Structure 1
């Protein structure tokens, strides 16, 4: 009895703020222009997560703060088995952190680059799971706007999960969505109207899903569109191109597309983070202490302007804790059941 009790994780304290110190950094697995991703383990529960961390100064300099806040706002309201769900968000002086589901199967782009040929039955399963996820997003009035193999991760059981809500947007009755956003080869025709901006809706995600499904089956996309292809060229491609469907594909699959245990990542990310990275996570505490001393010495107008924006970011950042949300929800359910206990007993 005593041994079992001592091996349990400490109980969750809903008043405690989750911070960087609550996690052990295990390894780096990826990086973007101003954000990096590593595998972490939470100290109390021993659960594994992926931690994305974004440098505040770079976000301010590249005018990306609004996108980060928007992504946080959207993700804290979502939870679905075929999404990469947000668990915690917090910040320190240097970085903003997002802790999400850890998926060890790699993204579908990685597998395409490894010359994996997906069977039709496998792609059908992927489509079904992605349709459920997109239907859920639509029920929450969310357009993802960047569905592509790069943003679809596999778990260890082979199920797919949509990630990266950096350019997602919320569709409302009051505001029409007209902004051109996404990755050109996967963007729907209605997003390329060159004469006047026209509103678009959830259908753009279904189009991207169709392009993705075609690419998974054939290892190339149905239209010859690249990231540097001009809007006029893209419009011409959509008008003139004929999409080829191999004879080996089932009629059901063609009809559908017409309607619309190891870590799979590049191991050089680990080397870059631990050896070449100028600001590695494991040296963060010493670095922040030095930064505090240096800041007091620098009083230039440019530094003051940057500092002002960083202070605004610090103030407006959205802190989130899914465990706390769930705990609060469970309490409400318990109270509700207790109040209606008499009715349940009668039944």
Structure 2
């Protein structure tokens, strides 16, 4: 590529590779696919000249050109940094490639449609402007690659991850269809990961608006592997919203089985396979039958028989296995650790939460939702008042100023002394907390050792016939709020990401605020609902939400009789939890350590190791002094054949948690 060398934006280099591996929304589809008999045409993107080092919009705002990100059939994409340091992706289209009114109208329609979108799973449109040689479409940057890049690296993607991806995609497509827009180029390469690993649909180059009463389009367009059979029918059949449903099925197949279902080297063979629905599931694949059922229905050659977007989410596949609350950058390289450990109850909560976040949860509206009315293309959107310009005033950046605040909210600048004081206080609190946690772990391990060696007797501590207070229900929602749990005494708590806990007592007449501070590591403050400070009101609302959800949807970990689980006089709450591939571990403030194993057996060491409890998968519960269990080598009424292995596991986990 000619021109002076590209300059990195900063020392961090958010997109550090310039070889095209990192993708941002750039055109990659073809309107009329070539056959293998024709000479390949030159990409129109090759006409795009490298932007100058600084590009200015109509209002004089300057953007510094950064790394080259990649190219498609019609455009090239570059990083752009504005004068405040914020980084965007600039889809750059050469004016030389806009040779007639049809091409111009197509580009301006893309800008109008994309500019009209406001959804958390659609790439944000920021600005558009031009210079003498290029048109620049400024977009939210998605630095974590696309779904295509993920699949190329991973080869296959796990069903739990694909459930999450499909739900986010369906939410965005439902928003498009509600606004009477068909994307027509949904594919893995056009769906990007934002910094938080949420999916964003981009590239509206082939998008079109459906205007009643016709509700059909007849242009043959799209990317070969993803084209629906009715698109290939051209004017004979026409196509509508169902083409996006078909593409969802293609993407789901590709992610689960490694490649699109109709893939072939020859485009004409792909088209023949699509027309005749000729595809097969790999015989040796472990993908579930529920997934295959959904794919078969999505890839029905009769568009009227494909499920609607709402119907897709009602298929058993979404609830028959683990459903994560989100994904991390770990997914770009490997299947996330522990994802298969998600319980059915937690998975159902995650599914409902994600549906709510994307706007498909029983009609729930999105927070700060943008326009939801049908998109309309006006004549003023297609014709410029100035002969030398391409972009009309209605698409100029004049009315886009607020868009900048939607991408990045500047951090509030605090005085240096205040910030330093806050950091010192936090460090001191954390140091005390670690010390308290270590002391409890060490005390428990010492008791276990002495009981095993016969130097101490847990029976002498007196067994009052009550089982320990257990974590009976829980929901890991730490990607947004924190870790919610219900105890066997019916207290409801949320350990918030900020470190504090809000606990509602069983009668729900009082609350306890547990803060990580003080000489004991945590400070407890009891208050009535009327005494809750304004700063905690939203936290209490979160606790109320999880209380209603867990009471309605989750089952208790064990069968219990009223008054037989722990003392109602003590305040019990969760100090720390740890998730592992084999178990989840809860550390309580009363000296109890609960382990929920993957095989649904649960063990609790209580009173700093003097007693041990076993809860079976069928919810039978047995609590005994540890010395009697050690002497017997197992429990009496409800033994576990792998007790010895798990008991060693418990001790190892306790030792591992001590911070040195």
Instruction: Provide the residue aligned with 1:313 in structure 2.
Output: 390
Instruction: Provide the residue aligned with 1:91 in structure 2.
Output: 130
How far apart, CA to CA, are the structure 1 residues paired with 2:290 and 2:203? 30
Higher relative contact order (CA 8 A, sep 6+): 1
Instruction: Provide the residue aligned with 1:56 in structure 2.
Output: 95
Instruction: Provide the residue aligned with 1:324 in structure 2.
Output: 401
Secondary structure class of the residue paired with 1:64: helix
TM-score (norm 2): 0.37
How far apart, CA to CA, are the structure 1 residues paired with 2:128 and 2:258? 36
TM-score (norm 1): 0.67
**C-alpha contact (below 8 Å) 2:59/2:397 kept by paired residues:** no
Instruction: Provide the residue aligned with 2:67 in structure 1.
Output: 27
How far apart, CA to CA, are the structure 2 residues paired with 1:20 and 1:216? 44
**C-alpha contact (below 8 Å) 1:153/1:162 kept by paired residues:** yes
How far apart, CA to CA, are the structure 2 residues paired with 1:243 and 1:20? 55
Aligned in 2, Cα 1:41/1:227: closer, same or farther, shift over 3 Å?
Answer: farther
2:117 is equivalent to residue 78 of structure 1: yes
Secondary structure class of the residue paired with 1:24: strand
Which is richer in helix? 1
Q: Tell me the CA shift for residue 59 of structure 1.
A: 2.4
1:163-182 matched pairs, under 5 angstroms: 163-175=202-214, 176-182=216-222
2:207 is equivalent to residue 130 of structure 1: no
**C-alpha contact (below 8 Å) 2:262/2:270 kept by paired residues:** no
Instruction: Provide the residue aligned with 1:282 in structure 2.
Output: none
Aligned in 2, Cα 1:207/1:321: closer, same or farther, shift over 3 Å?
Answer: farther
How far apart, CA to CA, are the structure 2 residues paired with 1:148 and 1:314? 28
Q: Tell me the CA shift for residue 219 of structure 1.
A: 0.9
2:212 is equivalent to residue 212 of structure 1: no
Per-residue deviation, residues 166-223 of structure 1 (Å, max 9, x unmatched)? 01100111343121111121111222227x5222221110110110111011111222
**C-alpha contact (below 8 Å) 2:59/2:398 kept by paired residues:** no
**Deviating more after overlay: 67-76 vs 54-63:** 54-63
Secondary structure class of the residue paired with 2:99: helix
Per-residue deviation, residues 21-66 of structure 1 (Å, max 9, x unmatched)? 522223221123442211122213x322111111111222796322
Instruction: Provide the residue aligned with 1:251 in structure 2.
Output: 289
How large is the Cα RMSD of the aligned pairs? 3.1
1:40 to 73, 80, 93: 80
Aligned in 2, Cα 1:325/1:233: closer, same or farther, shift over 3 Å?
Answer: same
Secondary structure class of the residue paired with 1:313: coil
**Deviating more after overlay: 84-93 vs 249-258:** 249-258
Q: Tell me the CA shift for residue 231 of structure 1.
A: 8.3
1:278-289 matched pairs, under 5 angstroms: none
Instruction: Provide the residue aligned with 1:335 in structure 2.
Output: none
Q: How many residues align?
A: 264
Aligned in 2, Cα 1:246/1:210: closer, same or farther, shift over 3 Å?
Answer: farther
Q: Tell me the CA shift for residue 85 of structure 1.
A: 1.6
Secondary structure class of the residue paired with 2:203: coil
Secondary structure class of the residue paired with 1:118: coil
**C-alpha contact (below 8 Å) 1:184/1:227 kept by paired residues:** no
How far apart, CA to CA, are the structure 2 residues paired with 1:152 and 1:245? 29
**C-alpha contact (below 8 Å) 2:77/2:91 kept by paired residues:** yes
1:187 to 218, 221, 227: 227
2:149 is equivalent to residue 110 of structure 1: yes
**C-alpha contact (below 8 Å) 1:145/1:205 kept by paired residues:** yes
Q: Which stretches in structure 1 are left out of the alignment for 5+ residues?
A: 1-15, 265-308, 328-347
Secondary structure class of the residue paired with 2:240: coil
Q: Which stretches in structure 2 are left out of the alignment for 5+ residues?
A: 1-55, 299-328, 333-385, 405-660
